[in-house]
Each structure stands twice: as structure tokens, then as C-alpha cells.
A and B are shown apart, each in its own frame.
Chain A
Amino acid sequence: MSDGLVDLLSILAATLRLATPLVLAALGGLFSERSGVIDIGLEGKMLGSAFAAASVAAVTQSAWLGLAAGIACSTALALLHAYAAVTQRGNQVVTGMALNILVAGLAPVLATAWFGQDGGTPNLPPDARFAALTLPGTAALSDVPVLGAIYVRLLGGYNGFVYGAALAIPLTTLALRSSRFGLRLRAVGENPQAVETAGISVASLRYRALLLTGFFCGLAGAYLSIAAGAGFTRNMTAGRGYLALAALIFGRWQPVPTALACLLFAFADAVETRLQGTPLPLVGVVPVELISTIPYLLTVMLLAGLVGTARAPRMLGVPYGRDR
């Protein structure tokens, strides 16, 4: 087997691993934003989940309880978001920002107090984490040239979360396109008055959308701390929530394009890590710091209409009240 193939497969596999939290968070944000609530609080929800999942997993030594705690924490933050943005009709951007900053402070304070470590949780033993799954027949196929390598290295060897994120893409598409909830969700982001006139509560729809956001961000955060990583560290999400938001916009608020944008951003990340410090022929050493800005540049260009056009849900960011 050639080294080139191994290299390529490992970059592609790294892409899928790096894309997983982005896809989960971006699909989560999609529900919120399609319902008309701007969610720049994805980062905080993910970070909260990562901390809660790792803390509970550290105490109970159970990955599943950790996952449940992560989802619960992220959902609670989403409920707070909904209360401020929907019930109180507060500024949605301010609310999201408040969540991000609050969690960024809260997690290290509690981690230090509870575990006596600087802003993180103890390292989790393998039993308290989600291990990579082994696909059936891995041992038998690993010696088969090319196809075996593809099966073992590219399709197999991931965490359940990775497959879950892949599955979430068609499910979200289906839910949005064909379910009654999806239809109403899209309607409430475009024309809440019409939805209310039809006798459906705008507030309840937006609450449910944000609960879904909380659920998905919970998965994304737990993946970081108890599946891909082995414990919580300070600022573990490192801007992934904002990157997911960029992907959501770059994907024009549609599930499949959003997931593709996540894959693109993750691929850039994987290549960047790979190229760190290694000079390429003709180009020389690639400025990795500049490559990392590409997703953000692309998003700005899209918003400026330079690479296609993005149309946001019409009522995105506008609090709804019957008196309006």
C-alpha cells in the first residue's frame, strides 16, 4: 500500500473527526435560526455540555451519564436563551453573547473548585469515555489492499458520534422538509404573524427549536470532552461554535450545504495540521495561521454576495410579540 494513500486516508479521516462537532452544532443552530432566533450562543452551549459531560463522567465513571449530563446542561442553557430571547423578547445577539461569556467563566471556576485542577476535569479513563467503534470484519479486511485500507481507515474506527452526525444530516433535512414541525418551523422564521394567525404559538415553536439546538450542541460538546478528548480543558471549544455558525451561514441555512461547509472547514483544518512546518515544493512553508482564516473570509464574502448569495430567514433576530 502506498504512503500517498495512507496520507490521503488519514487526512480524510481527520476531516470527518474534526467535522463532527461542527456538523452537530451547525445543525443545532439551524433549528434555532430557521425559527427566527439568531444563535451566536452555540459556543457557550457546546462548552457547557463539554464541561458537564466530563464532570459527570469523572465522578460516575460512566460515559453515558456524562452524555446525559452534557445534553441536559446544553438544553438548560438553550432554555435560558429561549426565556430571554422569546419570553422576555430581549436582544438575541446580546443573549447569545451573555451565554458564551457566562459559560466561559463558569466552567473553569467550577472545574477548579470541584476537581482542584486549573480550569479542567481530571483525565478520564477509557471506561468513562466513548471508544471508537470497530466495524465488523475489520480484522479480516485489514490485509486486503486498497479496499481494506479504505474500509478500516476511512469508514471504520470512529466514535459513534461521527456516525450519529452523519445520520443527523438526512434526518434534519427530512424533518425540515417533510414534517409538520419542520414546515411550521420554517414558516415561523419567515412570517410569524401568519403562523400565529393559523392558531399556532410562535413562542412554543421557538422554544422547541431552541430545545433541539440545545440537544445537538449537547452532543457536540460531549463529543469533544468524553469521546474525542479525555476530559474537559479550559476553553475546550476554541471557537468551534462560531465556526459552526459560519458554516450554517455559508450553507445558507440548509442542512446538506451546511454539512458540506462543515466538511470543507474541517478539511482545511486537517490539511493545516498536516502541513504545519513542512515545506511544500514551489510554495515553501505554508502560512498555516492564514489558512485558518479562510472559513471566516469565505463567510464574509458570501455575506457580501461575492460568492453566491445568502438569504437569511426573513424574521431572523426579530423578537415576536402580538402587539407588533
Chain B
Amino acid sequence: MRPSAASRRRAELLLLPAINLAGALVLSALVVLAAGADPFGAMAVLAMGAAGDPASLGYTLYYATNFIFTGLAVAIPFHAGLFNIGGEGQAYIGGLLASLACLLLGPRLGVAAIPLAIAGAALGGALWALVPAWLRVTRGSHVVITTIMFNFIASGVMTFLLINVLIAPNQSAPETVAFPEATWMPGIGSMLGPSPINLAFPLALLLALATWVFLWRTRWGFAIRAAGANAEAARAAGISVGRSIVLAMTLGGALAGLVAVNELMGAQHRLLLDFSSGYGFMGIAVAMMGRNHPAGICLAALFFGALYQGGTELSFDMPQVTRDIVVVIEGLAILFCGALENLFRGRIARWLGQEFET
């Protein structure tokens, strides 16, 4: 029986990321070998560290929450044909507004400040993405470059604010006072042992689902995908490409901003220097590996959350392999799943075609 084109496509959709990921992992294993450690042993330590006991699993899901947010933040603009590298800065500014809401409104409103702080996180991220989007639409500025620049601008502004304005009194570390306890995101890890997993995790899953509905089941999502696929054709069909770009970027920025909900309101309970460092870039790896589909992004985020958590164990058990191996795998995943995505595609398509036909 000949399979339909759709089922072949579906097979390719699953097989291709798996093979690309395998390529990245094989190379990572070689790096571990070059570092003088046993790759299989390292993998076992990673896996045990990520899910060996309930608390580790809680940490894995907690990290995955950040990566779902930043992965979606890359994916939505990607569907509009834009590359948002600004997740780091968007999360940072989101953290600023969320923290201000917690610190200023928390004492008065109590728990009621939480939704406002969540809105603040989204608003901060959205604003930090809105400027590059708006410059792209009105002045044609390249979003890749402007979002990179905005990461550095956010970093400078936040360092300034934390050192000079927001720093807790009589303290040398550049961080604010603790948020009022009422504004902490409720933990959901009681059955998972002591871990910082909190309500931001189900929120991330919910928003991943909402992103899917938005992109594939609403006309705004359709407009975004049409603008990304072929701006000329979309324009000819009466779609406002500019509006789609602004919408996709601000939604992406808002999602990146929500990292603050998990990281600051859920775990650190204060605003601190460089809290978003690395999470924004990880979103690129997550989006590439998840092929910019919300379901794929959740899986990829889980994978990298496990790596992130397992990497901590790894550096305890095998001192010659540092945590940075996670960054190596991240880089290789972007390389294989993003930059070299065509490397295996032709071969797989041919192989799938023949396999199904015989």
C-alpha cells in the first residue's frame, strides 16, 4: 500500500529531528571522550541526575518551563519570517516589570498582585520586542541585529538599575529585597520533593497549546504564517504584513518575558543580575529542535531541561566534564537541527519513499 504524502511527511517530521539530534549527541560524546571521560558513563549520570529521583525531576521540569517560554518566543516570530535573538533582553526587561509589580503592589494587594506581575512580565518582554519590530516595519531595520543590540542595551540598563537604584539597602550583591511572600508563584512540587517547580509550568504548557491554536486556528495566526511564507503574496491577498510582524514579535517577546514568572516569582523571589542569562539563547536550540511547533518545543524544552539539570550532577560525579558540556550539546543541536537541517533530509526522504513503496 502506498502511504499518503501526509503520512510520509509526518514520518519525516519525527525522524528528521531524531536523526539530527543523534548527530549532535554523537559529536557531544566525542567531546566527552576528548575530555578524557567515558561518554556512556556521562550519559548515565546525566539521565540519573535529570530524572533519578522526584526532586531532580522537579528541577528538570522547572528548567523546561523557562525553555518552553523562550522556545515559543523564537518560534512565533520565526513563522512570520523573523529571527528573534532578543529573548535574553526580553526576559530581562520582563523581569524588571514583574519585580516592580511584586515589590510595589505586593504589600498592598497580596496574592492579587500575582496576575498583575505576570502581566507585567509579559508587557516588559513585549515592549522590548516591539521596538525592533516597529523599526523593522517602518524603517526596514534588520531584526536579528536590532534584537542582538537590544540584548546588550537591556543588560546595561539592568546592571545600572540593579547597582544604583533597585539594590537592597546595606547589601553588596546587586539584587533587590525579597518579594512579599504572597507574590511568590505557588509551588507544585510537594509530591516531587524539594524543587522550585511552580505554577509557571502548567502556565507554559497552556500557553504552548494557546500558541498552537493561535497560529493554526485563528486568522491572525494565518496572517503571520502567510507573511512569513511569502510576504508579497500575503500583501497581494490583503494581509497587513507589517501588522503581522509586530504581532508576532510582541507575542514572542511577551512569552520570553514570562521566564521571569518562573525564575523570579517562582524560584529566586527577588530580581537579580543576569537572571535570564543563557535562557534566551537556549530558546533558539529549543525552537530549532522542536521545528517551531509548540508540541515539538515542549519536547525539546523537556530534553534541554533534563540536560540542564543532569549537567549539574555531571560536574559533581565527573569533575573533568564541566556543566558547559550542556552548552556544547545546545550549540550542536542548533547546528544540526537548524543550520544543517538539509544535511540528512534528501537521504531520509528518498529512504522513506522507497521504504513505504516496497
Name the residue of chain B whose CB is nearest to the CB of A293. B156
What's the nearest-Cβ distance from chain A to residue B64, in Å? Answer: 18
Is A242 a contact partner of B334 (Cβ separation < 8 A)?
Answer: no
Residues of A within 8 A of B83 (CB): 91, 93-94
The answer to whether B178 has its CB under 8 Å from any CB of chain A is no
- Which residue of B36, B145, B341 is within 8 Å of A303 (Cβ)? B145
Is A84 a contact partner of B340 (Cβ separation < 8 A)?
Answer: yes
Among listed A108-116, A140-148, A159-167, interface-contacting one? A108-116
Docked complex: B329-346 residues within 8 A CB-CB of A: 329-332, 334-335, 338-343
Is A95 a contact partner of B335 (Cβ separation < 8 A)?
Answer: yes
The answer to whether A287 has its CB under 8 Å from any CB of chain B is yes
Among listed B105-113, B159-167, B197-205, B243-251, interface-contacting one? B159-167
The answer to whether A156 has its CB under 8 Å from any CB of chain B is no
Residues of B within 8 A of A98 (CB): 331-332, 334-335, 338-339
CA gap between A94 and B144 in the complex, in Å: 10
Is A287 a contact partner of B34 (Cβ separation < 8 A)?
Answer: no
- Which residue of B141, B164, B321, B343 is within 8 Å of A113 (Cβ)? B321
CA gap between A102 and B339 in the complex, in Å: 13
Residues of B within 8 A of A46 (CB): none
Residues of A within 8 A of B288 (CB): 94
Is A113 a contact partner of B340 (Cβ separation < 8 A)?
Answer: no
- Which residue of A102, A109, A297 is within 8 Å of B322 (Cβ)? A109
Residues of B within 8 A of A38 (CB): 144
What's the nearest-Cβ distance from chain B to residue A290, in Å? Answer: 5
Interface centre among A105, A106, A119, A312 (most CB of B within 10 A): A105
CA gap between A305 and B160 in the complex, in Å: 27
Is B152 a contact partner of A106 (Cβ separation < 8 A)?
Answer: no
The answer to whether A245 has its CB under 8 Å from any CB of chain B is yes
Name the residue of chain B whose CB is nearest to the CB of A239. B152
Residues of A within 8 A of B338 (CB): 90-91, 94-95, 97-98
Q: Quick one: given A242-B148, A297-B153, A300-B141, are A289 and B163 in contact (CB under 8 Å)?
A: yes
CA gap between A98 and B284 in the complex, in Å: 9
Name the residue of chain A whose CB is nearest to the CB of B146. A300
The answer to whether B139 has its CB under 8 Å from any CB of chain A is yes
The answer to whether A292 has its CB under 8 Å from any CB of chain B is yes
Contact with A along B142-158 (1 / 0, CB 8 A): 10111011101101110
The answer to whether A72 has its CB under 8 Å from any CB of chain B is no
- Which residue of A85, A109, A246, A249 is within 8 Å of B339 (Cβ)? A85
CA gap between A303 and B31 in the complex, in Å: 40
Is A105 a contact partner of B326 (Cβ separation < 8 A)?
Answer: yes
Is B321 a contact partner of A40 (Cβ separation < 8 A)?
Answer: no
Q: Quick one: given A38-B144, A245-B145, are A113 and B339 in contact (CB under 8 Å)?
A: no
Is A94 a contact partner of B339 (Cβ separation < 8 A)?
Answer: yes
The answer to whether B85 has its CB under 8 Å from any CB of chain A is yes
The answer to whether A18 has its CB under 8 Å from any CB of chain B is no
The answer to whether B38 has its CB under 8 Å from any CB of chain A is no
Residues of A within 8 A of B139 (CB): 303-305
The answer to whether B320 has its CB under 8 Å from any CB of chain A is yes
CA gap between A59 and B201 in the complex, in Å: 48
Is B339 a contact partner of A90 (Cβ separation < 8 A)?
Answer: yes
- Which residue of B163, B320, B334 is within 8 Å of A101 (Cβ)? B334
The answer to whether A78 has its CB under 8 Å from any CB of chain B is no
Is B335 a contact partner of A84 (Cβ separation < 8 A)?
Answer: yes
Is A90 a contact partner of B324 (Cβ separation < 8 A)?
Answer: no
Is B331 a contact partner of A105 (Cβ separation < 8 A)?
Answer: yes
- Which residue of B85, B281, B340 is within 8 Å of A93 (Cβ)? B85
Which A residues are closer than 8 A to B by beta carbons? 38, 40, 84-85, 88-91, 93-95, 97-106, 108-110, 112-114, 118-119, 239, 242, 245-246, 249, 287, 289-290, 292-293, 296-297, 299-300, 303-305, 312
Residue pairs across A and B with Cβ atoms less than 8 A apart, 23 shown, are A40-B148, A90-B339, A94-B83, A94-B339, A97-B284, A98-B339, A101-B330, A102-B334, A103-B331, A105-B325, A106-B328, A108-B322, A112-B35, A112-B320, A113-B36, A113-B320, A239-B152, A242-B148, A242-B152, A292-B156, A296-B152, A297-B149, A299-B149
Beyond known contacts A90-B339, A101-B331, A104-B327: 14 more, CB 8 A cutoff? A40-B85, A84-B335, A88-B339, A89-B342, A94-B339, A101-B284, A101-B330, A108-B322, A110-B35, A112-B324, A113-B36, A290-B156, A292-B156, A293-B152
